[in-house]
Amino acid sequence: MITKDLAMAVKALTDHQIIALPTETVYGLAGNAYSETAIAKIFALKQRPLYNPLIVHLKSPEFLPLVAREIPQMALELAKEFWPGPLTLVLKKQSIIPDIVTAGKDTVAVRVPNHPMALALLNQLEFPLAAPSANPFGSISPTTAEHVFHYFSEELSVILDGGTCERGIESTIIGFENNRPVIYRLGSLSRAQIENKVGKLQSDTKADAAPKAPGMLSRHYAPSTPMYLTDEIEKLVQKFSNKKIGLLMFKKLIPGISVENQEVLSPSGDLKEAAKNLYAAMHRLDKLGLDLIIAGRLPDEGIGKTLNDKLERATKK
């Protein structure tokens, strides 16, 4: 059920059950990060392959040494700047983190979420929470409690309702190789925001065969309706004029297509607002029984790059 009752969540988590919780990025499917039983339930419910590791959520940066070791200075600087917030750091793991959480890797992904309800919950627990996004593997991430309910109403006894996620896009994932920072997944924090702090980032976001961060698997974040991404909306609309089309637009509606079948991400052209609205817009269009959804490419700057990346992956066949 959807609830704001933290005590119910604490009880379930302490009993090795899993729950859904809000974060500032997307909703997570959370369990005790120290409990193999709980973590196995997350993988089963998400139908997530066991090779795809989870992010561990801490109540505060000071607990980082409990789960990670040999933490580079640069990681500490990033944590100081961006936690709580949408930054995930991949660090050498401590043995207290079960192998199932990290898919057998020697590294663990960690972040401190910036959401009052998530932090209030973590503060009542003796353990951190492992939490992937609360969607079946490969489908659109949830940004409201209702999205989670739509996916898992039967299976989850506690879906904590913390409103609409402020960021709307997953955290940015940074690792360290040979003492150099590497970006594994584009996310809510732009590359420039991180480079301002630690200098040039190497990229490893295209490793498809053995992805470092399988959020970067080529097809991901996908609606069940076929989706296209284009710079030339009008042309595609023409081409599919005999089909039931949905449109995902940045700033403006397009005349000639029913308003009900269109989503505008930010009338004022604000990319942050577009990020907050993107997944909710995809969820809504996906439920309309359309033949296809056409998305207009966003300006390829700042977080716009992240949004285009998510759209690319949603449209891969």
Interface residues with ligand TXA (CB under 6 A)?
A: 23, 25-26, 28, 52-55, 86, 88, 90, 102, 105, 107-109, 113, 131-133, 170-171, 173, 184-185, 212-215
- Provide, rounded to whole angstroms, the least separation between the CB of residue 57 and ligand TXA: 6
Q: Kindly state whether residue 306 participates in binding Mg ion, applying the rule CB under 5 A.
A: no
Least CB distance to Mg ion at residue 149 (A): 17
* Cα R_g (the chain), whole angstroms: 19
CB of residue 13 vs ligand TXA: minimum separation in angstroms? 15
Structure tokens at 231: 């710079």
Q: At what angle do helices 271-286 and 145-152 cross, to 10 degrees?
A: 30
Q: In whole angstroms, what is the distance from residue 296 CA to residue 265 CA?
A: 10
Distance CA 300, CA 290 (A): 27
Looking at the Cβ atoms of 56 and 245, the one nearer to ligand TXA is 56
**Separation between Cα atoms, residue 129 and residue 166, nearest integer Å:** 20
Q: For Mg ion, how many residues bind (rule: CB under 5 A)?
A: 1
> What CA–CA distance (Å, rounded) separates 140 from 212?
20
Range in contact with Mg ion (rule: CB under 5 A) among 88-96, 126-134, 185-193, 232-240: 126-134
* CA 236 from centroid of its chain's CA atoms: 29
Q: Is 133 near Mg ion (CB under 5 A)?
A: yes
Q: Is 315 helix (H, G, I), strand (E, B) or coil?
A: helix
Minimal distance in Å, beta carbon 226 to ligand TXA?
Answer: 23
The interface region with Mg ion, picked from 99-107, 130-138, 182-190, 266-274 by CB under 5 A, is: 130-138
Residues that bind Mg ion (CB under 5 A): 133
